Amino acid sequence: MTDTTNATGVLGAPVDRRDGAVKTSGRATYSTDVDVEGIVHAALAHATVARGRITVLDVEAAARVPGVLAVLTYRDRPAMRRPGRLNPLNLASLAPGVSSGYLLDDEVHYDGEPIAVVVAESLEAAHEAAALVRAEYEAAPDPVVDFPAVAAGGAPQRPMPIGPPLGGSKGDAEAALAQAAHRVDATFVTPPQNHNALEPHGCTVVWTGSGRDAQVTVWDGSQNVDWVKRHLARTFGLAPGQVRVISEHVGGAFGGRTMVWAHTVLAALAARETGRPVRLQLTREGVYRTVGGRSPSIQRVALSAGDDGRLTALIHTAQLRKGAVGGAAEQVVSCSHDLYDASAMRLGTQLVSMDLLPNQVMRAPGEANGTFALESALDMLAASTGLDPIELRRRNLAPSRGPIDGKEFSQRRILEAFDVATSAFGWADRPVAPRSMRDGRWLVGWGAATAFHPAWQFPAHLRLSVAATGTVTLECAFHELGMGAPTAVAQLVADRLDVPLPAVEVRYGDTSLPTGPGAGGSGQSASIAASVDVASRRLVATLDRLGRRTDGGAFGDGRSAHERYTEIVRRSGRDEVTVELGPRSGLAATWSGLRDTVKLMRDQRRWLKAAAGAQLCEVRVDADTGEVRVTRWVGAYDIGRVINAKTAASQIRGGVVMGIGLALTEATLVDPRRGRIMNPSLTEYHVPVHADVPPIEVHLLDHPDPQTPLGILGAGEVGITGAGAAVANAIWHATGSRVTELPITLDAVL
């Protein structure tokens, strides 16, 4: 597809992050750090029933708090449009986190839904007033909020379309299962999880003018500034060009800033209504109440095999939830669709709609908890057959084609990953039987699992230029969430143009730039790489033409490409030479966007591209208390071409850390009667801290994928996949206890 050689040597170099110093020294400006003259503060008041109608809404006490400028509720009939319906041809229609909008009527759709936004001169006044908003409700008697009860048959469930990534089948899997010598048939339960980025969600909005003269500038930590722009334009009846969204530094995202949630919409409303610049910084609790996270799941995985361990049946079904006003099924069974070959397979997904905040993608949505179930079940089958669990995987991994649809793998190096990881880990010394390693009071166990995450690519527009000063500039509204994207993108440009890395400037995170890809599906780098590759060749062709015109290009001899390009620009008498990929607005943009999307979809249909790997870990379990410590981690990953060895390995480590949280601590507790999240804080929702995380040894195979832009498969999400199962499998190996419900707490271990 593209030339994947690395003649410049800049690809893969472990270059320090360009934003490292500004972030670690506290000088980075996040979206609510923006200082604007005359800024005021907004805070939200939240509904306290899961479903119903507001009957009394008393804002008098709130309005009397000194410094309060406005208390806006549905009774003010704020002019806003309801978000449109999901349109499969328009990815941006995914942007609204909820389809009901905010403050549009007296209906409540989930506990925590904003019922008022308060605007005040100070943060303190805004929060005090928000707490004084008093509401009464006519609550629906039986809100649908108890997922385990619903999944057990309490409400209608919607089977999702059969086919990847939510389903698929071949042969008669149930019949094969019934006949087999070795059989595992287990139910796995995973909890809902909330997003806990270091920087809680918030934004700053400046709204000037009105009607056609309105200009709205929004600083909002986002994974898709184009979606935020288009969503706000639609909501407030503006042309997209009237909204500018800036997202420079973002303190973590993981999917939690993919959609547009209440704080962004209501800060914009507050700015329009008060005519003042507005800052709305959610509290941690505010994030839990209004920003969706991972769906819980109840999964059945049934496997069967003969004595040789070859799979005869693989069944993987998942029950999931969405919100009544938004959310979607997560691709929990996609790992089973594409990893192992069994003679007969059946995969399916059921979705139930509940009176809860809609779910939103969260690091490897689907694969993170789907691999927990599949890879735990494989371990159980290994125990039943007496095979080493990695040997069992070796015998069953589909080598070159999708086991159900026959789609060709662009490359598959999972066995190579296991080879690298097992030798680095010393896996050969592992006793097969559980409970056979002990170190004082600690029971020691080793676990393994396969990591898997599909590779994605999206359209990316950009502008690339060489200036007479020698500066090479890439402009593209992509996103930096903490993964080091601008550094890696600069490396892509330096490589394609063969110019020194320090000469490359990268501008990103601003809708005034050409529309970039969203940072999602671990697809941002590949998406940008595809466009950088095309734009670089065009730019070089343009420069060569110009060079021949100025003086036959003779001055090119003996100089570096960078010197030659700069000289050509200088001699042409221009400030810079620029190429631009993709129109910036209008109907042409819609068409070219559609064309790009269709092209990418065709490509996805032909090839099965995925990042994958091997996760190996050691746990120690206190024989008396059941306390689990993860003490060693070795992983090897095929992420295709590595752009920056340092940032890519950090991405993977972040994924593993989140995987340890998924395995051992993270769970959103939902009151089964009222649908309220009961632990909306980091004191009661536990994410791993440094003391919980061992050194994580990351091996990157670094083989360019032959079918992806510059060979990139994506590094963001694959690190969390398989991680939960690796921990659970190690706990089984240490203790003999097989825990099938997450998080694995000490009471379940002993």
Please report how close the Cβ of residue 519 comes to ligand MOS at its closest, in angstroms: 6
Residue 530: name the closest of 412, 641, 645 by CA: 641
CA distance linking residue 263 with residue 253, whole number of Å? 15
Please report how close the Cβ of residue 685 comes to ligand MOS at its closest, in angstroms: 18
- Alpha carbon 220 to its chain's center: 17
Candidates 247-255, 350-358, 501-509, 725-733; binding stretch for ligand MOS (CB under 6 A): 247-255
Candidates 133-141, 305-313, 362-370, 492-500; binding stretch for ligand MOS (CB under 6 A): 362-370
By C-beta, is 389 or 640 nearer to ligand MOS?
Answer: 640
Contact 284, 303 (CB under 8 A): no
By C-beta, is 101 or 164 nearer to ligand MOS?
Answer: 164
Task: Kindly state whether residue 639 participates in binding ligand MOS, applying the rule CB under 6 A.
Answer: no
Look up tokens 């991994």; give the residue: 397
By C-beta, is 223 or 536 nearer to ligand MOS?
Answer: 223
Candidates 140-148, 356-364, 382-390, 696-704; binding stretch for ligand MOS (CB under 6 A): 356-364
Query: Using the rule CB under 6 A, which residue among 260, 265, 361, 731 binds ligand MOS?
Result: 361
* Residues between 726 and 745 with contacts to ligand MOS, criterion CB under 6 A: none
Query: Using the rule CB under 6 A, which residue among 120, 125, 362, 577 binds ligand MOS?
Result: 362
CA distance linking residue 183 with residue 70, whole number of Å? 64
By C-beta, is 254 or 427 nearer to ligand MOS?
Answer: 254
Q: Which DSSP string corresponds to 124-178?
A: HHHHHHHHH-EEEEEE-SS----HHHIIIIIS--EEPPSSTTT-EEES-HHHHHH
What angle, rounded to 10 degrees, do the helices at 561-571 and 524-551 form? Answer: 60
By C-beta, is 296 or 403 nearer to ligand MOS?
Answer: 296
* Residues between 84 and 123 with contacts to ligand MOS, criterion CB under 6 A: none
By C-beta, is 167 or 365 nearer to ligand MOS?
Answer: 365
| Identity of the residue numbered 245 | V
Contact 626, 746 (CB under 8 A): yes
The interface mask with ligand MOS, positions 206-235, x = CB under 6 A, is: -----------------x------------
Query: Using the rule CB under 6 A, which residue among 244, 263, 279, 363 binds ligand MOS?
Result: 363
Task: Kindly state whether residue 254 participates in binding ligand MOS, applying the rule CB under 6 A.
Answer: yes
By C-beta, is 292 or 626 nearer to ligand MOS?
Answer: 292
Please report how close the Cβ of residue 361 comes to ligand MOS at its closest, in angstroms: 4
Look up tokens 């005869």; give the residue: 312
Measured from each CB, the residue nearest to ligand MOS is: 255
Please report how close the Cβ of residue 593 comes to ligand MOS at its closest, in angstroms: 19
What angle, rounded to 10 degrees, do the helices at 414-425 and 389-396 form? Answer: 170
Candidates 141-149, 361-369, 457-465, 471-479; binding stretch for ligand MOS (CB under 6 A): 361-369
| Identity of the residue numbered 11 | L
Q: CB 38: neighbour CB atoms within 10 A?
A: 9
**Does the CA dihedral 594-338-323-126 come out positive or negative?**
negative
Using CB under 6 A, count the residues that bind ligand MOS.
11
Q: How many CA atoms lie less than 13 Å away from 372 in the CB half-sphere?
A: 34
CA distance linking residue 611 with residue 607, whole number of Å? 13
Q: Which DSSP string corresponds to 604-641?
A: HHHEE-EEEEEEEEEEEEETTT--EEEEEEEEEEE-BS
What residues have CB less than 8 Å from 50, skipping those under 6 apart?
108, 110, 111, 139, 140, 143, 145, 355, 356, 674, 675, 676
Look up tokens 């619903």; give the residue: 150
Candidates 232-240, 252-260, 305-313, 377-385; binding stretch for ligand MOS (CB under 6 A): 252-260
By C-beta, is 521 or 635 nearer to ligand MOS?
Answer: 521
**Does the CA dihedral 249-251-257-258 come out positive or negative?**
positive
By C-beta, is 253 or 696 nearer to ligand MOS?
Answer: 253
By C-beta, is 293 or 309 nearer to ligand MOS?
Answer: 293
Q: Which residues of 329-364 are buried (b: 16+ CB within 10 A; e: fewer)?
A: bbbbbbbbbbbbbbbbbbbbbbbbbbbbbbbbbbbb
By C-beta, is 202 or 716 nearer to ligand MOS?
Answer: 716
* Residues between 37 and 56 with contacts to ligand MOS, criterion CB under 6 A: none
By C-beta, is 365 or 434 nearer to ligand MOS?
Answer: 365
* Residues between 258 and 317 with contacts to ligand MOS, criterion CB under 6 A: 258
Please report how close the Cβ of residue 698 comes to ligand MOS at its closest, in angstroms: 19
* Dihedral angle of Cα 614, 615, 618, 621, to the nearest 10 degrees: -140
Query: Using the rule CB under 6 A, which residue among 191, 296, 358, 365 binds ligand MOS?
Result: 365
CA distance linking residue 534 with residue 592, whole number of Å? 15
Please report how close the Cβ of residue 231 comes to ligand MOS at its closest, in angstroms: 17
Please report how close the Cβ of residue 482 comes to ligand MOS at its closest, in angstroms: 11
* Residues between 516 and 575 with contacts to ligand MOS, criterion CB under 6 A: 520-521
Task: Kindly state whether residue 724 participates in binding ligand MOS, applying the rule CB under 6 A.
Answer: no
| Identity of the residue numbered 46 | H
What angle, rounded to 10 degrees, do the helices at 485-497 and 524-551 form? Answer: 40
Please report how close the Cβ of residue 193 comes to ligand MOS at its closest, in angstroms: 11
Task: Kindly state whether residue 255 participates in binding ligand MOS, applying the rule CB under 6 A.
Answer: yes
* Residue 463, both tokens: 């502008």
Task: Kindly state whether residue 661 participates in binding ligand MOS, applying the rule CB under 6 A.
Answer: no
Please report how close the Cβ of residue 180 comes to ligand MOS at its closest, in angstroms: 36
Please report how close the Cβ of residue 220 comes to ligand MOS at its closest, in angstroms: 16
Candidates 75-83, 182-190, 357-365, 740-748; binding stretch for ligand MOS (CB under 6 A): 357-365
φ/ψ (deg, to 5) at 278 = -120, 135
By CB under 6 A, name the binding residues for ligand MOS. Answer: 223, 253-255, 258, 361-363, 365, 520-521
